[in-house]
Amino acid sequence: MNDEAFLDTNVLIYAFNRADGRAVIADQLLASGGVVSVQVLNEFVAVARRKLRAPWPEVVEALAMIRRLCGDPLPLTVAAHEAAVEIASRHGYGIYDAMIVATALQHGCRTLYSEDMQDGRRFDLRLDIKNPFTSVR
């Protein structure tokens, strides 16, 4: 098992968006490390640019900070894709969320921090999904 937590895109977005009340919790999670995947970084860029209308220099700076705190992102693999298709079809997740679950499982993470998935859900008796923002609205 791997004690590193996997951070979903929303954790990164809230850490980046200082006006959001969830930023403090997101900062704490990000500062404690954890892992992200290439997919999470791509989703971060898409949301930061499209929804937050962040300029490219700020997005690039944020990506560098994320990589400093979380290390090299986990790659997207065919094996993770195949596992994600199985997770999506069996559990009703969208393919992108299923890909995050599959990548976290493959890396051996025990915890996946996400606001978008089912808080308290456990996969394969080894990965727990936790919504760290339940107390903030």
User: Considering the entire predicted model, what is its pTM?
Assistant: 0.92
pLDDT in tens, 76-108: 999 999 999 999 999 999 999 999 999 999 999
C-alpha–C-alpha distance, residues 12 and 63, integer Å: 9
d(CA 101, CA 133): 19
Could you report the per-residue pLDDT of 10-42, keeping only the tens digit for each? 999 999 998 888 999 999 999 998 999 999 999
- pLDDT at residue 2 above 60? no
15: left (phi over 0), alpha (psi -120 to 50) or beta: alpha
Beta pairing class for 127-130 and 122-123: antiparallel
